Homo-oligomer: A and B are copies of this chain.
Amino acid sequence: MKANDLQPQPGWTLARRAERMNPSVIREILKVTERPGIISFAGGLPSPLTFPVEAFRAACEQVLSEDGRGALQYAASEGYGPLREAVAALLPWNVDPAQVLITTGSQQGLDLVAKVLVDHGSRVLVETPTYLGALQAFAPMEPEVTGVASDAEGVDLADLARRRAGARFLYVLSNFQNPTGRTMSEARRQALVQTARELALPLVEDNPYGELWFDAPPPPPLAARYPEGTIYLGSFSKVLSPGLRLGYMVAPPEILPKLLQAKQAADLHSPSFNQRLVAEVLRDGFLERHVPTIRALYKAQRDAMLEALAREMRGLDVQWNAPDGGMFLWARLPAGMDAVQVLPHAVERGVAFVPGSPFYADAADARTLRLSFVTATREQIDAGIAALAATLRDLATR
């Protein structure tokens, strides 16, 4: 008998909300894809080829030489003044830097929104499907999340009106949505804002991918049209680097102080060194030179995947869309197939994707899947899509 057996065990009692915190479904799914040699379309990572390493090296040197001690010290919870000003200047509507709150990635923005706006049982409306990370960020505040019917242009406004009662907000990704890659049309944006105004419904607009357009910029954001009713989330993760964990939110003056207080309680402030690095990199219009290189790369990658799909899926009842920007493409398998069940067979043939089901707040379309086109090479795209097609042919003939 060990001494320990004589003692009561420590009485850990978990919060009720901890029951809703479960390992990311995707994370579990992706474990099977981690074998060496797998061609992965499953990741949500930007291409590391787009990271401006040299610009960051120069910025480190500049920031540490100019005021190294200041950059390494505690700082204001709102964020670094010049970065807040740079964010306000980047946005395509009239934003006062005082409305900008710098966050530890836009994921933190979702956590703060939930803390400030969601009670246990509060209704939260989301698109069908929606960003899985948002569902995870909202979950600890125990909302009742309801999917609003959506088509290729965005949310269905009749369904929105039916589900609005008591909803705290509608969460929406207007541009090159994760997971579907779809973009809300100009007409739908106008109609959505009109409906939101009529219903007095707040919006949370998440726009990490908006700059990654291929041929033409998307229509102006919802926040530009309905600023008093929208919390807008942005990010530097897809245009500069996700590893710095810097995002931002723009909120109406009546909500911002509470978000700021939640931010202060959550991590005091986002890293001051990183904020100064990004402010330094942004100077002199760097994004205007840099982002076009990302657009060109991702467009070529998308085209490669569309060509491979058209070539390899011939004769199979597989559907896919052709996103106008972003990182993801959305596909639908033949009737009767379930993407979760198909995945291990695909992995056996050396290719991985993310099944669509975890992205649905309620009833999932089990035939759907997400394909990232940005990190694989052209050769890998060709081989990976061929392997996926072979998997489907094989399963179809069983």
- Interface residues of A, Cβ cutoff 8 Å to B: 7-18, 21-24, 44-46, 48-49, 51, 53, 56-57, 60-61, 64-65, 68-75, 104-105, 107-108, 111, 115-120, 122, 133, 136-137, 139-141, 168, 196-198, 200-202, 226, 228-229, 237, 241-245, 252, 254-255, 257-258, 261-262, 264-274
Q: With A7-B197, A48-B73 in contact, do A21 and B244 touch (Cβ < 8 Å)?
A: no
Chain B residues within an 8 Å CB radius of A45: 73-74
Q: How many angstroms between the C-alpha atoms of A56 and B73 in the bound complex? A: 13
Task: Determine whether the beta carbon of B241 is less than 8 Å from that of A268.
Answer: no
Instruction: Output the residue of A11, A117, A241, A243 with the most chain B CB within 10 A.
Output: A243
Q: How many angstroms between the C-alpha atoms of A21 and B243 in the bound complex? A: 30
Q: Which residue of B lies closest to A262 (CB)?
A: B21
What distance in Å separates the Cβ of A339 from its nearest Cβ neighbour in chain B?
A: 23
Q: With A201-B11, A261-B21, A265-B136 in contact, do A68 and B61 touch (Cβ < 8 Å)?
A: no
Chain B residues within an 8 Å CB radius of A107: 265-268
Q: Which residue of B lies closest to A53 (CB)?
A: B68
Q: How many angstroms between the C-alpha atoms of A137 and B262 in the bound complex? A: 8
Chain B residues within an 8 Å CB radius of A64: 53, 56-57, 60
Q: With A18-B258, A244-B72 in contact, do A200 and B10 touch (Cβ < 8 Å)?
A: yes
Q: How many angstroms between the C-alpha atoms of A51 and B64 in the bound complex? A: 11
Task: Determine whether the beta carbon of B15 is less than 8 Å from that of A141.
Answer: yes
Residue from B9, B23, B122 in contact with A228 in the complex, judged by beta carbons closer than 8 Å: B9
Task: Determine whether the beta carbon of B48 is less than 8 Å from that of A139.
Answer: no
Other A-B pairs, 11, CB within 8 Å; known A10-B196, A266-B266 = A7-B197, A10-B202, A10-B226, A10-B228, A11-B201, A13-B117, A14-B117, A21-B116, A21-B265, A56-B68, A60-B61
Q: How many angstroms between the C-alpha atoms of A45 and B272 in the bound complex? A: 14
Q: How many angstroms between the C-alpha atoms of A91 and B346 in the bound complex? A: 44
Task: Determine whether the beta carbon of A104 is less than 8 Å from that of B51.
Answer: no
25 A-B residue pairs with Cβ-Cβ distance under 8 Å, sorted by A, are A10-B197, A10-B228, A12-B229, A12-B252, A18-B116, A21-B258, A46-B73, A48-B72, A51-B69, A53-B64, A57-B60, A105-B267, A107-B266, A107-B268, A111-B266, A111-B267, A133-B265, A136-B264, A137-B266, A139-B265, A244-B271, A244-B273, A245-B268, A267-B267, A271-B271
